[in-house]
Amino acid sequence: MTLSAQAQRPEVEMADTFRSEGKIYVVVAVALIIFLGMVVYLVSIDRKVKKLEEEQSN
Amino acid sequence: MKNWWKIASVLLISYSIVWGFLGEVPRLPILNETIRNLYFHVVMWFAMLGMMIASLHGSLLYLSKNTRKYDLNAVQYAETGMVFATLGLLTGMVWANFTWGAPWTDDPKLNGTAITMIIYMAYFILRGSIEDPEKKARISAVYNIFAFVLMIVFIGILPRLTDSLHPGNGGNPGFNNYDMDSNLRMVFYPAVVGWIMMGVWVSRVKIRLKVIQDQIKSKQDEIYDSIK
């Protein structure tokens, strides 16, 4: 069976209700906050290393 | 703006998180919404492959130029690659438990991956067992080339020769059979690029720390020598 034929089969259960209620945005927000929080942390480590590099070159 | 690629990495991954959950995906039986794991689980393996290529590059450059910098690159990228591999393995076990009914199956790709990880662990053990830094760098660089070739055999070639539960394997030529439609590709490839750049970023930070460590050590040695 081709993909497009499968894609049109409505009987495959997906989280359609969950999505229509807008609850997926809650999941996206949480995942994004955690990821961006880790990035902020990584940036601060990166800066600290840069400071150390500058101290070393003096 | 020499840090543009770090920003690009964050933007690409953020996009893959947002659009990975919100975008359209093919409605497939058994998989249902878990098809979205493609943007996270499969991406870990591509990121690992990227790290191992960077590691191989470091080893090849070390052998031709004999500079410590390239040895540091080789180890660090291999280490980051192992982190991605561990994440790929763990996420794969969660996904497999849902779709295949067990966290670990006799799938050739799983066993090939396990062997690959052991091969790379041996690389770190080999490094740890050689005292002399030059010798360590040279021997482990040669081993790393060997490890890379074995990885390609175990996860790229052998699973394609036999039957595998993984799509794209078992005689299939690969990606076109991956049930990848344009919606999936639109998120998957940016995620791969983003995560590879994220891996390079983290690795670079650790490499720079090791360089500083080296500098501190050589300064200390100078002081010790001067008071002797």
In a mutagenesis test of the A interface, which of B33, B83, B202 is the best target, namely the one with the most A β-carbons within 10 Å? B33
Q: What is the mean pLDDT of residues B98-120?
A: 92
In a mutagenesis test of the A interface, which of B5, B17, B204 is the best target, namely the one with the most A β-carbons within 10 Å? B17
In whole angstroms, how large is the CA radius of gyration of chain A?
23
Lookup: tokens for B139: 């021997």
- What is the per-residue pLDDT for B2? 87
| DSSP, res B24 | -
Most confident of A7-11, A13-17, B17-21, B222-226: B17-21
Query: Is any Cβ of chain B less than 8 angstroms from the Cβ of A56?
Result: yes
Cβ neighbours of A8 in B, within 8 Å: 27
How many Å apart are CA B83 and CA B228, to the nearest integer? Answer: 43
Of B14, B27, B179, the CB nearest to A12: B27
Instruction: Please report which helix (H) or strand (E) contains residue B161, including its range.
Output: helix B158-161
Q: B114-156: per-residue pLDDT in tens?
A: 999 999 999 999 999 999 999 999 999 999 999 999 999 999 8
What length does chain B have?
228
- What is the per-residue pLDDT for A9? 52
Q: B55-99: per-residue pLDDT in tens?
A: 999 999 999 999 999 999 999 999 999 999 999 999 999 999 998
- What is the per-residue pLDDT for B177? 47
**Dmax of chain A from CA atoms?**
68
Q: A7–B26: do the CB atoms touch at under 8 Å?
A: yes
**What pTM does this model have?**
0.89
Cβ neighbours of A53 in B, within 8 Å: 208, 211-212
Chain B's closest residue to A22, CA to CA, is: B22
Between the alpha carbon of residue B68 and those of residues A54, B59, B74, B218, the distances in Å are 21, 10, 10, 14
How near does any CA of chain A get to the CA of B198, in Å?
9
Q: Integer distance in angstroms from the first to the last C-alpha of chain A? A: 67
What length does chain A have?
58
| DSSP, res B182 | H
Q: What is the DSSP string of A2-57?
A: -HHHHHT-TTS--SHHHHHTTTHHHHHHHHHHHHHHHHHHHHHHHHHHHHHHHHHH
How many Å apart are CA B111 and CA B94, to the nearest integer? Answer: 16
Q: B26-59: per-residue pLDDT in tens?
A: 888 888 899 999 999 999 999 999 999 999 999 9
Q: B162-218: per-residue pLDDT in tens?
A: 777 787 665 444 444 456 788 899 999 999 999 999 999 999 999 999 999 999 999
How many Å apart are CA B40 and CA B37, to the nearest integer? Answer: 5
